[in-house]
């Protein structure tokens, strides 16, 4: 077979599959390379005209890629519910106990270092006066300017959880009643009130009211006993003989069991049974009184802090220096750890959902991911993508060559059919 015939056979039956396979592989390789390269825009020589498809697709669309990747992660892969579920699965009483146990042990280890204890006591003694004064000044200024609700919030919780649910015991109610009787409802004060009340004008008004509004039998009785005369004689008796009047009033107080009735009323009083509006008004009045007191006595409070801070700081300093972790009984320490763990656990179980709903948006996961991707250089972006799907992209190049090869086979078949 001569050389021209061999050349013809190769060109018709061998060259098409090889050429198409190389063409398919090269075209796929160029398409994949165009995803990343060139890294910068190219321009026609001596012009400002940008060559199409430069820079590569990923470098050119890096901002949109960052936004879409961040959106995909935060909307489908790392949603708020996923984070909440993962965190809630970790919040177990055992995990919290381990954290509390580690924290307490670490603190106690620090307190075993005498040098650190003395340094801590010295630092507290140096910082506490300024901190106490500054805290007091800031607190009162915030209350005065209506910009600080710490006092109001604290008093609201105190009122709702302590004052509102407080019940007075029998002994306490009897003590209150005793003080009321001594200072407000004693015979002398009652006699003074009655003397001031039974003036001629008031006695006349009482008689007129009976005659105007009472029933006929009561009107008749009032005329028979002469109400005006009885009231005038009673007033005269209490003015001229206060000692006997006090004895009469004291005897009546005992007969009426007035102190016992007052004690019973105090003991059975439940503030929660009051109308809601009254409770709200009482809470508001308490807060207003406390805030007004703080503002009006600002200088007195600051002076008081200055007077007690030396003694208070000295006491704290001495307590820190004398503190010996080894003196704490193990069972007492274990009980404290358990109680603290239980408190934190039940608090988190109740409030964790609300806390996460506030905290997760503030983390800015979307913006953090988007900014991180935008900061990638084109080279880093290429390395990242190739690290994830290098094998798949290589097989994609082979697929292009494979498809090209079979297109070449089709071309050979066409040539055979034509000839």
CA distance 328 to 339: 16
CB 291: neighbour CB atoms within 10 A?
19
* pLDDT more than 70, % of the chain: 82
Residue 383: the pLDDT is: 74
Mean pLDDT, range 271-291, rounded to an integer: 86
Beta bridge partners of 43: 50
Look at residue 204 and tell me whether its pLDDT is greater than 80.
Answer: yes
Q: Are 372 and 69 in contact (CB under 8 A)?
A: no
Confidence of residue 168 (pLDDT cuts 50, 70, 90): confident
3-state SS assignment for residue 168: coil
Query: What is the 8-class DSSP label of residue 43?
Result: B
Look at residue 306 and tell me whether its pLDDT is greater than 80.
Answer: no
* pLDDT more than 90, % of the chain: 0
CA distance 410 to 418: 12
Classify residue 53 as left (phi > 0), alpha (psi -120 to 50) or beta: left
Q: What tens digit of pLDDT does each residue of 247-258 get?
A: 988 998 888 888
For residue 115, CA distances in Å to 118, 283, 320, 328 come to 5, 49, 12, 20
Mean pLDDT, range 306-318, rounded to an integer: 64
Confidence of residue 375 (pLDDT cuts 50, 70, 90): confident
User: Which of 153-157, 311-315, 350-354 reaches the highest mean pLDDT?
Assistant: 153-157
Look at residue 170 and tell me whether its pLDDT is greater than 70.
Answer: yes
Residue 127: the pLDDT is: 56
Look at residue 129 and tell me whether its pLDDT is greater than 60.
Answer: no
101 or 77: whose pLDDT is higher?
101
Residue 233: the pLDDT is: 87
Residue 75: the pLDDT is: 73
Confidence of residue 367 (pLDDT cuts 50, 70, 90): confident
Confidence of residue 320 (pLDDT cuts 50, 70, 90): low
Confidence of residue 397 (pLDDT cuts 50, 70, 90): confident
Which token pair is 111?
A: 């307190």
Q: Are 34 and 382 in contact (CB under 8 A)?
A: no
Mean pLDDT, range 402-418, rounded to an integer: 79
Provide the total of helices (H) and of strands (E) in the chain, helices listed first.
20, 0
Confidence of residue 83 (pLDDT cuts 50, 70, 90): confident
Classify residue 364 as left (phi > 0), alpha (psi -120 to 50) or beta: left
Mean pLDDT, range 373-382, rounded to an integer: 74
Look at residue 161 and tell me whether its pLDDT is greater than 60.
Answer: yes
Mean pLDDT, range 221-225, rounded to an integer: 82
CA distance 63 to 60: 8
Mean pLDDT, range 145-165, rounded to an integer: 81
E strand or H helix that includes residue 186 = none
Of 38, 122, 62, give the one whose Cα is nearest residue 318. Answer: 122
Of 241, 240, 238, 229, give the one whose Cα is nearest residue 200. Answer: 229
CA distance 72 to 252: 85
Computed over every residue of the chain, the mean pLDDT equals 78
Mean pLDDT, range 271-286, rounded to an integer: 85
Q: Where are the alpha helices (DSSP H) in 147-275?
A: 150-158, 170-183, 187-197, 200-213, 216-225, 227-240, 242-255, 258-268
Mean pLDDT, range 73-85, rounded to an integer: 72
Residue 273: the pLDDT is: 80
Query: What is the 8-class DSSP label of residue 327?
Result: G
Where are the chain's structural domains?
Answer: 115-166+276-327, 168-269
Of 12, 11, 17, 16, give the one whose Cα is nearest residue 415. Answer: 12
60 or 294: whose pLDDT is higher?
294
CA distance 49 to 309: 77
Look at residue 2 and tell me whether its pLDDT is greater than 60.
Answer: no
CA distance 23 to 35: 19
E strand or H helix that includes residue 145 = none
Look at residue 189 and tell me whether its pLDDT is greater than 70.
Answer: yes
Which token pair is 4?
A: 């021209």
Distant-in-sequence, close-in-space partners of 46: CB < 8 Å, separation ≥ 6: none
Residue 224: the pLDDT is: 84
Residue written as token pair 């090269």? 26
Mean pLDDT, range 297-305, rounded to an integer: 78
E strand or H helix that includes residue 100 = helix 93-111
Q: What is the pTM of this model?
A: 0.40
Look at residue 296 and tell me whether its pLDDT is greater than 60.
Answer: yes
């Amino acid at each position: 077979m001569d050389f021209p015939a061999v050349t013809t056979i190769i060109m018709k039956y061998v060259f098409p599959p090889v050429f198409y396979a190389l063409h398919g592989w090269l075209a796929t390789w160029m398409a994949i390379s165009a995803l990343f390269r060139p890294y910068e825009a190219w321009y026609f020589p001596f012009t400002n005209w940008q060559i199409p498809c430069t820079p590569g697709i990923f470098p050119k669309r890096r901002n949109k890629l960052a936004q879409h990747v961040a959106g995909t992660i935060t909307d489908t892969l790392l949603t708020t519910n996923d984070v909440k579920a993962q965190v809630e699965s970790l919040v177990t009483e055992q995990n919290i106990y381990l954290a509390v146990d580690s924290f307490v042990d670490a603190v106690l280890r620090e307190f075993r270092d005498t040098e650190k204890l003395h340094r801590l006591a010295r630092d507290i003694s140096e910082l506490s006066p300024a901190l106490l004064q500054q805290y007091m000044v800031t607190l009162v200024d915030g209350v005065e300017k209506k910009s600080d609700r710490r006092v109001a919030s604290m008093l609201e919780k105190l009122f709702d959880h302590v004052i509102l649910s407080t019940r007075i015991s029998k002994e306490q109610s009897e003590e209150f009643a005793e003080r009321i009787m001594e200072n407000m409802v004693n015979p002398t004060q009652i006699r003074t009130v009655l003397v001031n009340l039974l003036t001629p004008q008031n006695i006349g008004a009482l008689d007129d009211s009976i005659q105007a509004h009472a029933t006929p039998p009561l009107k008749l009785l009032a005329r028979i006993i002469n109400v005006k005369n009885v009231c005038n004689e009673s007033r005269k008796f209490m003015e001229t003989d206060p000692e006997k009047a006090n004895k009469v009033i004291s005897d009546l107080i005992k007969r009426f069991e007035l102190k016992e009735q007052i004690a019973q009323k105090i003991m059975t009083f439940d503030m929660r049974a009051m109308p809601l509006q009254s409770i709200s008004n009482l809470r508001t009045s308490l807060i207003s009184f406390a805030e007004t007191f703080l503002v009006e006595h600002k200088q007195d409070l600051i002076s008081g802090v200055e007077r007690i801070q030396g003694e208070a700081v000295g006491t704290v300093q001495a307590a820190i220096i004398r503190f010996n972790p080894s003196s704490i009984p193990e069972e007492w320490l274990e009980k404290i750890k358990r109680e603290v763990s239980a408190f934190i656990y039940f608090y988190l179980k109740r409030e964790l959902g609300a806390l996460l709903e506030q905290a997760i948006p503030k983390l800015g996961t979307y913006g953090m991911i988007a900014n991180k991707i935008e900061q990638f250089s084109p080279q880093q972006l290429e390395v990242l993508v190739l690290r994830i799907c290098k094998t798949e992209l290589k097989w994609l190049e082979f697929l292009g060559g494979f498809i090209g090869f079979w297109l070449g086979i089709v071309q050979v078949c066409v040539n055979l059919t034509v000839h």
